[in-house]
Amino acid sequence: MLGDPRVSACIVLYHTSLSVKDTVHDLMHSTEPVELYVVDNSPKDLTARSILLEAPDAHVLPQKRNLGFGAANNQVLPLLHSHYHLICNPDVTFDETLLHRMVTYLDAHPDIAALTPRVFFPDGREQFLPRHRPTVRYLLGGFLEKLGRPFTTWRAEYTMQNVTLGGPMEVEFATGCFLLIRTNVFYKMQGFDPKYFLYQEDSDLSVKIQRYGKIVYHPDFQIRHNWNRADKRSWRLTWYHIRSTFRFFRKWGLRW
């Protein structure tokens, strides 16, 4: 790749399906050139090799073990020389102009440290990803919403379903599935806290980002995310979620 692109991107793999090729395709066909890093937490898989067929210039960083999401993303920190860095899940797709539009917006708003998009399921349903800082009742709402009120009310408040989001607005949370951050901010924070193996690492990162500037949600920037909330079906993943939540509260304080 000639010159230094304004945007770098990192995808973390862990026994990832071949649908990641759709994500890589969208990154490689973006009207905003992207330098792609792939951190492979499961190097015995052949997925990373298939990515190189789509993106031969991608930097593949195989790991000897599963580092977890945050620590794996941090592996690219010494290598970055972009202006903006995209943290991107391997199950996300978007249109070719999205990154250019997001970069242009950040160029025009130097007080913004990170942009978070509007997120949809592949079938068009909206994903109401958390946009408030986690609290005890908000997280109870997520775990117990099937029981009805008050949990559904808390969940709706947490995910701002009761707020009209017709335009860009400052929020407390940026989803880790697709987060465009100023590279110098990501570097100053030294990335994610590696003590979070899985879950709440983006909540923790969001608190740190706000020391350097705003997090802005912009509904005109839209992605499709094949999110399945696996923790709802696995006791092991639920335990990871609970453990990370306690870590977050110990670090940042308990709020009801």
pLDDT attached to residue 189: 96
C-alpha 124: how far from chain center: 19
Domain ranges of the chain: 7-123+173-229
- Looking at residue 63, its pLDDT comes to 95
**What is the rounded CA–CA span in Å between residue 1 and residue 240?**
39
pLDDT of residue 228: 67
Low-confidence ranges of the chain (pLDDT < 50): 1-2, 231
Question: What Å distances lie between residue 111 and 9, 99, 106, 178, 214, CA to CA?
Answer: 22, 18, 8, 20, 6
Radius of gyration of the chain (CA): 18
Domain spanning 7-123+173-229: CATH 3.90.550.10: yes
d(CA 6, CA 102): 12
pLDDT tens digits, one per residue of 86-99: 999 999 999 999 99
What pLDDT score was predicted for residue 121? 95
**Count of other CB atoms within 10 angstroms of residue 250:** 9
Nearest C-alpha neighbor of 27 from the set 74, 70, 88: 88
The region, left, alpha or beta by phi > 0 then psi within -120 to 50, assigned to residue 172 is alpha
Q: Which residues contact 12 (CB under 8 A, 6 or more apart)?
A: 38, 39, 41, 69, 72, 73, 90
CA–CA dist 192, 68 (Å, integer): 11
The set of long-range contacts for 125-128, using a CB threshold of 8 Å and a minimum separation of 24, is 127/225, 127/227, 128/156, 128/159, 128/160, 128/161
Which pLDDT belongs to residue 233?
A: 57
Provide the 10 A C-beta neighbour count for residue 194: 16
Q: Cα(144)–Cα(147) distance, rounded to whole angstroms?
A: 6
Alpha-carbon gap, residue 56 to 50, rounded angstroms: 10
Question: How much is the pTM?
Answer: 0.93
